[in-house]
Structure 1
């Protein structure tokens, strides 16, 4: 990718503050498309997914190839102008932390009333256009999933689907048992959660490989 040079400058200071430069390509992009890293006290590169840790931010596009390139080519040290080291499994760490953050976000959303669960309730939310995301347990039965997926395809645009967590993981996050079908209702919480979901998609698919064979 080439550094962006043909787009208009940010209209406001707030908009400018949401844009950062990827240390791998030099491209300026929205923070939502990037992962922030900082140098820890021991000189190790640390992911800062919430963008709150102290220190100079080192920004990398939210995908596995970019993080691997930054780690292998010493780009974190070059950008920091200091002796910092990135662990070889840094991309795997980012993936793991994003998944944990997404599960935590689901728990917060449930307590705030931004989720609905159960086949009938989820189906109704999708049909009414109130579902921002369909969240399906990765180990749930295919029949129910296919029926809800068919409903998402009737929406324009189609309701996105997330299927990386199994029923036990969803149950622990939501404080319930046998959580198979969940809808994240549209709103600001869903928008924030979606940012992390899309960042995670740069590190792993959001749906199990086996689902691709389903009609």
Structure 2
């Protein structure tokens, strides 16, 4: 998580590498502090607090200290902030506030533009992830290359910028359906809440309009490419969900009938790291 200059996130409840590995292995769930519903932790957005009580987004869920989790739903967050539910939920989640170096409780606070901070953090998390996967050779750019690999069923994800043309999307979506052997299903790639300029700048390339991520998870389970596709899919789903497209599911070609938001029932309701 990127925090303000000279600001450190509270470490009153530290997360160790071993506990983090155990968390991933167990496929643990977390409870959204606003809705009370449980979801897989990778589908939620983590909030952490600095030593002076400032609530900050932690999209990578890597900041030390106590954390709270919310569903990626900007409209629900804004409504909760407006009616005071968010503040009350934070007080419960953080047990009134963090302790400073003297052991004294500090007052919880958050910026008026916290929803925008979260969306920007989720955007940065996605573009950083795409940059890492591109350097690892797992991202395919350029319509011709994407179409070729899509027809060969070598793509786990197909992504389009918000200002991509409908004709361009349809052509690549069709190639993806052919490769996946689901012609006629209406399945399509995911349209991102980012235009070509924003994505091009983030990835250091010119005119990035479409992207493919190598590896079909269902065909390459356990492989490095499958893990790459899953990592990007998680980042995309959270950003698209928070920005207003809660139906996003981009871990495989998605049809209109198959769209469904990640959900969970029961399980772990912890609010810590």
* Pairwise same-fold verdict (TM > 0.5): yes
Aligned to 1:78: 92
TM-align CA RMSD: 2.4
d(CA) in 1 for partners of 2:165, 2:44: 35
1:152–1:76: structure 2 CA closer, same or farther, 3 Å change rule?
Answer: same
d(CA) in 2 for partners of 1:66, 1:201: 14
Deviations 1:33-84 (A, max 9, x none): 2111112122111111111112211111221244335543211122212231
d(CA) in 2 for partners of 1:44, 1:111: 34
d(CA) in 1 for partners of 2:158, 2:229: 11
How far does residue 18 in structure 1 lie from its aligned partner after superposition?
2.0
Deviations 1:128-147 (A, max 9, x none): 22212222233344432321
d(CA) in 1 for partners of 2:151, 2:174: 11
Question: Which structure 2 segments of 5+ residues have no match?
Answer: 1-21, 97-106, 216-225, 246-273
Deviations 1:151-186 (A, max 9, x none): 344544835323333333332333322222321112
Greater relative contact order, per chain length (Cα 8 Å cut-off, separation 6+): 2
Aligned to 2:133: 109
Q: Conserved in 1, the CA contact under 8 Å of 2:44 and 2:69?
A: yes
Q: Which has the higher helix share?
A: 1
| Pairing 1:65-214 to 2, within 5 Å after superposition | 65-71=75-81, 72-73=84-85, 74=87, 75-82=89-96, 83-154=107-178, 155=180, 156=182, 158-186=187-215, 187-205=226-244
Q: Which residue of 64, 74, 88 maps to 1:54?
A: 64
d(CA) in 1 for partners of 2:189, 2:164: 17
Question: Which structure 1 segments of 5+ residues have no match?
Answer: 1-12, 207-215
Q: Conserved in 2, the CA contact under 8 Å of 1:95 and 1:200?
A: yes
d(CA) in 2 for partners of 1:151, 1:61: 33
d(CA) in 2 for partners of 1:100, 1:133: 19
Number of corresponding residues: 194
1:61–1:114: structure 2 CA closer, same or farther, 3 Å change rule?
Answer: same
TM-score by length of 1: 0.78
TM-score by length of 2: 0.63
How far does residue 205 in structure 1 lie from its aligned partner after superposition?
4.5
Secondary structure class of the residue paired with 1:201 = helix
- Answer with 14-23 or 116-125: which moved more: 14-23
Q: Conserved in 1, the CA contact under 8 Å of 2:47 and 2:56?
A: yes
